[in-house]
Structure 1
Amino acid sequence: MTNMLFEHTTLGQRVLFGTGKAAHHVVTELDRLGASRPMVIAAPPEQALAETATAGTTASLWWDEVVQHVPVEVADRARTAVAEHDIDALISVGGGSTTGLAKAIALSTGIPIIAVPTTYAGSEATDVWGMTEERTKTTGVDPRVLPVAVVYDAHLSATLPVGLSVASGLNGMAHCVDSLWAPRADPINQALALEGARALNLALRGIVADPDDIEAREQALYGCYLAAVAFASAGSGLHHKICHVLGGTFDLPHAQTHATVLPYVLALNAPAVPELATRLATALGQGLAEGQDPAVGAVYALNVLRETVEAPTRLSDYGFTAEGISEAVERVLAAAPASNPVAVTEENITALLTEALTGVTPSPAALTTA
């Protein structure tokens, strides 16, 4: 970048890393906040993890109704319970849906959140909220929803099955890639995104090779945090707009949808940003050969990772059908950022979703000439 002129905002948040330290850090943060009536939010599958993370903490309320994409009616019920129990802190233990519900509560109440992630979604490090009503997912930015503290403990994510670890980690990777050219992209969040991509690339390979590799799990948390910080600064790019449509309107699973769509968005945009494509390929461990096209190299690097970790490849596996493409394209076109490196058209988004539906090998040439 030759013109070093930009405006960057760094969000204020306390982050505590420490394998096996979650319960200690949660207690410390409650004391720091002066909170004595916390609500613990954890879906039933995360109940045991939440008990571990909050050992030594007396919760005024446990809440286990957690639904992906945060339906408005679920958020309303949780807000009512918060008021009835005079809750003064929210402890979310789980993945993006759990953090998302805590954010929905904080959006209207201002109650502080202590986020304890058990996946690699990264929602805990952003001030972005999202809720779904009548098949439409609405997102926004508000400082009230940024967790005041994030507690990272690799022991809590070690129980995440390999398949979900891969999908969740590639959700984090999507934050990295989208942040390279999102509406507020700048050199700082690009640097964070590329380091996040490097860490996630190594972490996911390590987790697949040995699911009990705690160092790989720690690297995954580190990478997803950097990815989310970059995303919070850069804003929501085309990839996230597409996935919000697929999730909110068609109820596709969040992480798997991100993992599936990502290489197609990269294939669409990379030809327009060769310098960033080169840097991304390098971050993913695949430096370009002499004379190699940067876009081809970047997509190849991501494809190698996805093949190595056996990532999701077809939207059809998660309930999306060809009949939904037309409506999805219409909604994506309405939401796509004007600053996307490649002009978004009905033709190229239709081609993108058609290829993602069936799992055609992503290729820059296929989407840029469609």
Structure 2
Amino acid sequence: MEPFIYAAQAARVVFGSGTLGSLPAEIDALGLGRVLVLATSQQQAEAAALADRIGRRAAGVFAGARMHTPVEVTAEAMRLVERDGIDGLVAVGGGSTIGLSKAIALRTDLPQIVVPTTYAGSEMTSILGQTEGGAKTTLKSLKVLPEVVIYDVDLTLTLPPRLSAVSGINAIAHAVEALYAQERNPIVSLMAAEGIRALSRALPVIVDDPHDRRARSDALYGAWLCGTCLGAVGMALHHKLCHTLGGAFDLPHAETHTAVLPHAVAYNAPAAPDAMRTVADALGAPDAARGLYDLALRLGAPVALRDLGMPEAGIDSAVAAALKSPYWNPRPLDPSALRDLVARAHAGEPPRS
């Protein structure tokens, strides 16, 4: 056994069906009396219903969360936090809402209770990505790690099949990179393999029958594991590319992960053979990169960045940005090979090692 370091992330997790009913008790346990409920504009009705459930503890609703956590949106929410004497946050939704909650917590250290409705996994990490002036940057701080995460399978039953698919592959990306991350360790590797296995088993069932409770439960379980992996170790080339592309071209987050992941895996395959075998085994496929690409096709998920709105003229600038401040990666970054990776992802071609 090789030496390793494992740092557990301290967060309370409540998992099951109907667990949203525990929200008032979780708020009381944290001693909160004026919480702000956060959501996107699309989930404003859900946020309002949640505020009603909380009752007198809810001081208001801010339904302005946006993709990639723009700093100007955070500033708008902060004015509400300061004006209304908010002492805690309740975020309901996916990565956009959770990102806003984290951004507020970074600035205030307010406690957070997160109620995920997608498979993004951000709720289990101390990582925050923020966008300013078209550039997305990330940071790590225990201040942004939520205190409580309530996973309620019932809340995922209405998640559309297409969004379920890309959200699930986004989660798988966290586990894949955890297997070859610089800080990888045996505990995280076990969780990563199980998370990939659970999601790859559940997602095709969900696409065929969105109301299959067993599959929904497996997918949410896998998302929790994959998010935990991302929170415990560092990121590599895949996440760097997705952060660069998302911030520069305002591409949808989960869809971008879905299109890029097979190609980033193919790029790193020669440098991380053990990780690739684990991914392939978890997928039930002979090859990790092709298995991820085929899974996306099976789910009807997008595999081409051009279909998400990225211009072909942006390939070179994206490569330059990824090379400018790279994350650690098991394979050194070669500009020519990296351009080929992005070009293939842009066109939606099969991955090539």
Q: State the 1:213 CA deviation.
A: 0.8
One-letter amino acid matched to 1:351: D
One-letter amino acid matched to 2:277: T
Per mean C-alpha deviation after superposition, the further-off stretch among 93-102 and 53-62 is: 53-62
1:18 to 12, 16, 19: 16
Is structure 2 residue 26 aligned with structure 1 residue 29?
yes
How many corresponding residue pairs? 351
CA displacement 1:165-223 (0-9 Å, x = unmatched): 10110100110111111232222212111111001101111101211112111111111
Q: State the 1:336 CA deviation.
A: 2.2
Between the aligned partners of 2:263 and 2:113, the Cα distance in structure 1 is: 35
Between the aligned partners of 1:311 and 1:134, the Cα distance in structure 2 is: 29
One-letter amino acid matched to 1:305: L
| Contact in 2 for aligned 1:201/1:284 (Cα 8 Å) | yes
Residue 42 of structure 2 corresponds to 45
Between the aligned partners of 1:285 and 1:43, the Cα distance in structure 2 is: 36
Show the 5 A alignment for 1:6-155: 6-22=4-20, 24-58=21-55, 59-155=58-154
Q: CA RMSD in A?
A: 1.3
TM-score (norm 2): 0.96
| Contact in 2 for aligned 1:69/1:248 (Cα 8 Å) | yes
5+ residue gaps, structure 1, are 289-296, 365-370
Q: State the 1:335 CA deviation.
A: 2.8
Q: State the 1:250 CA deviation.
A: 1.2
Is structure 2 residue 341 aligned with structure 1 residue 342?
no
Residue 294 of structure 1 corresponds to none
| Contact in 2 for aligned 1:125/1:229 (Cα 8 Å) | yes
Identity %: 43
Is structure 2 residue 296 aligned with structure 1 residue 298?
no
SS of 1:62's equivalent?
Answer: strand
CA displacement 1:126-172 (0-9 Å, x = unmatched): 01011111111111011111010001111111111111110110100
Between the aligned partners of 1:244 and 1:307, the Cα distance in structure 2 is: 23
One-letter amino acid matched to 2:104: I
Closer, same or farther: CA 137–97 of 1 in aligned 2, 3 Å:
same
1:351 to 331, 340, 344: 340
CA displacement 1:59-99 (0-9 Å, x = unmatched): 10100111111111111111111011001110000110000
Residue 297 of structure 2 corresponds to 307
Residue 291 of structure 1 corresponds to none
Per mean C-alpha deviation after superposition, the further-off stretch among 156-165 and 179-188 is: 179-188
SS of 2:172's equivalent?
Answer: helix
Residue 310 of structure 2 corresponds to 320
Residue 183 of structure 1 corresponds to 182
SS of 1:56's equivalent?
Answer: helix
Residue 197 of structure 1 corresponds to 196
Q: State the 1:28 CA deviation.
A: 1.4
Between the aligned partners of 2:340 and 2:219, the Cα distance in structure 1 is: 32
Between the aligned partners of 1:260 and 1:347, the Cα distance in structure 2 is: 19
One-letter amino acid matched to 2:334: T
Q: State the 1:55 CA deviation.
A: 4.8
One-letter amino acid matched to 1:17: F
Between the aligned partners of 1:196 and 1:209, the Cα distance in structure 2 is: 20
One-letter amino acid matched to 1:208: V
2:351 to 356, 362, 366: 362
Between the aligned partners of 2:86 and 2:234, the Cα distance in structure 1 is: 31
SS of 2:18's equivalent?
Answer: coil
Residue 166 of structure 1 corresponds to 165
SS of 1:86's equivalent?
Answer: coil
Q: State the 1:267 CA deviation.
A: 0.7
Per mean C-alpha deviation after superposition, the further-off stretch among 146-155 and 274-283 is: 274-283
Residue 329 of structure 1 corresponds to 319
Between the aligned partners of 2:102 and 2:161, the Cα distance in structure 1 is: 27
SS of 1:60's equivalent?
Answer: strand
Q: State the 1:52 CA deviation.
A: 4.7
Q: State the 1:358 CA deviation.
A: 0.5
Between the aligned partners of 1:170 and 1:331, the Cα distance in structure 2 is: 24
| Contact in 1 for aligned 2:47/2:61 (Cα 8 Å) | no
Between the aligned partners of 2:245 and 2:202, the Cα distance in structure 1 is: 27
TM-score (norm 1): 0.92
SS of 1:252's equivalent?
Answer: coil
SS of 1:64's equivalent?
Answer: strand
Between the aligned partners of 1:361 and 1:238, the Cα distance in structure 2 is: 18
One-letter amino acid matched to 1:223: G
Between the aligned partners of 2:45 and 2:166, the Cα distance in structure 1 is: 22
| Contact in 1 for aligned 2:297/2:303 (Cα 8 Å) | no
SS of 2:194's equivalent?
Answer: helix
| Contact in 2 for aligned 1:38/1:89 (Cα 8 Å) | yes
Per mean C-alpha deviation after superposition, the further-off stretch among 89-98 and 343-352 is: 343-352
